Amino acid sequence: MCSIAGEINFKNGVKLSDYHLKMQKSLSRRGPDDSDAFKDESCILLHNRLAVIDPEKGKQPMRARYGNADFIICYNGELYNTLEIREKLKSKGFEFETNTDTEVVLKAYICWGADAVKEFNGIYAFAIFCKEKNELFIARDKMGVKPFFYAMRDNSFIFASELKALLCHPKIKPEIDKNGIAELLFIGPGRTPGFGVFKDVFELKPGFCGYFTPSGLDVKQYFRLTDRENTQSTEEIIKNVRFLVTDSIEKQLVSDVPIGTFLSGGLDSSIISSVASRHFAKEGKKLQTFSVTYKDNEKHFKSSRFQPNSDDEFIKIMVDYLGSEHFTVTVDTDEVVNALYSAVDARDLPGMADVDSSLLIFCGKIKKQVTVALSGECADEIFGGYPWYRDEKIRSRYGFPWAQSTEYRQSFLHRDFENAINGVDYVNSRYEQSLKAADKRQGLSSLEKRMREMVYLNQNWFMQTLLDRKDRMSMANGLEVRVPFCDYRIAEYLYSVPWEVKDLKGREKGLLRTAMEGYLPEEILWRKKSPYPKTHNPAYFESVKNILRDILNNKNSPLFELCDYKAVEGLLTTERSEPWYGQLMTTPQTVAYMIMLNYWLQKFKVKIV
């Protein structure tokens, strides 16, 4: 994994400047092993490298000449079908100087043009410049695992892996308008797909690619979930799921540097760890596994509908089953609170409170042992694991199921913006657009139609928030995290599988559980879903409340340019069961979100325009 950035201006040209080097330096944590730049009179490409495959020969930006044209790539990602594509290209006469996927991506583009992205199975964001053709090709992976932000300013196309790099450019100001305010207060910590929160800053959407030329920017969608009739038997579907899941995990174990897995004792991380452990055993190696817990959590843990039991006993069962070399990271309350600020630094936006900050700490500890890790994100979105998939009342309710708190959120909006910003209208318009975009074939029952909508909503909204979190918190530590359940082949296949099969045996992710029988102990295979662990220590809530009091005591706190003072103050005295964002963000996390928002406004000196 790496970072990319650049500026292209075909009309006025561009010179390598100090601010370009600042852009590159701001992203150095993503690629601590090497850095370099390509410069031309109309193009600057910047790269920082985290060496994973062929560390000696994989330097970037990478160049290839074909015919009378030079092609230069700036690439962040990992291709999991590198070998297959390389063989196809060899059969067409292409030769290779490295073992990197970067060279395969570059030569695939030379061979097939924009259609090359349809061949790729992986996580990536990249740009390819060709001076002779006067064009820059850009692309982002099908599922949106790797980021690609951009802005257009005075004929320049400026892009980067993260927002912080764009803000190093003098033409991109830390400004937000009413849409940015609405994103922060009514969508956050999520984001509308393609929206960069800062004014006129965008993100290339998952499954999109395009060209920047002297005529401007032209992007198009090259991948989307399409509903097709699935006439296979349940047994055939189970067999296919088992193959797709195991194949995805095994493909993502390719690495020339140390690799391990996250292990929470839950279904998803346990499946990945089990497949990886078997794969390693064939090579005479032992798998390294990693889990996170919180100091004194056993004293304060309270069972709930969303988190019925603690992870500790299940982690032990899995470690014993795998015989893995296991590392437990224990995080203290003060660490989690203090890291709220570092989590904003990593995400460049307010995030999921302690859910972000604890992961940031966790990834830092993991990086001391391995450079690459596999994690279980995205199984719930694809296989229908969340409560809102299975609870008929929640499922049929209007609106994003993880964010039913728009009216509550509206109460925090500063009174000066009441007439300009209607939170309900803002959220509902995005919800309606998403429903229309979900592909649904003719003849489906009302339940099946709704399940297609639910999958689309979750994969394009909730899942993107989790992928943002995992990418920024891991890459801030120079750790590459891969997400095997996010293989586009799994998402594509599962989209059209009938709900009664996904919900096999009346259990959340029943299809996945059944497909992976034999890979896990029974008590893990049928363990009730439990989310990413968060602290249950009441000291956390007290700590963040104390910080919020300090913010309230400073009438110049930038938070109150956006938020109503009395509403924020009410967080200190009223604890609501209604979540801010999914089951992981209740009142303590809402308090922390306000702290993060205040810090973000302060750090970037954000101006409201």
Active site residues: 2
The CB-side HSE value for 457 (13 A sphere, CA atoms) comes to 25
Distance CA 20, CA 6 (A): 8
Distance CA 150, CA 155 (A): 13
Q: Could you give the C-alpha distances from 278 to 325, 371, 520, in angstroms and in order?
A: 14, 20, 12
Which secondary structure element, helix H or strand E, spans residue 331, and what is its range? strand 325-331
Distance CA 463, CA 465 (A): 5
The b/e string for 396-419 (b: 16+ C-beta within 10 A; e otherwise) is eeeebbbbebbeebbebbbeebee
Distance CA 195, CA 321 (A): 44
Pairing of strands 156-160, 2-8: antiparallel
Residue whose tokens read 């500063």? 414
Distance CA 234, CA 247 (A): 20
Pairing of strands 259-262, 288-294: parallel
For 343, list phi and psi in degrees, rounded to 5: -65, -35
Size of the chain in residues: 609
Check residue 498 and report its DSSP letter.
-
Identify residue 580 by its one-letter amino acid code: W
Check residue 492 and report its DSSP letter.
H
DSSP-derived secondary structure for 432-459: HHHHHHS---TT--HHHHHHHHHHHHII
Beta bridge partners of 481: 373
Tokens of 391: 């609870």
Of 218, 296, 225, 288, give the one whose Cα is nearest residue 259. 288
Tokens of 527: 């363990």
In a 3-state reduction of DSSP, which class is residue 31?
Answer: coil
Edge-to-edge, what's the strand order for the sheet holding 69-79? 62-66, 69-79, 122-130, 135-140, 208-213, 216-221
In a 3-state reduction of DSSP, which class is residue 240?
Answer: helix
Distance CA 500, CA 241 (A): 15
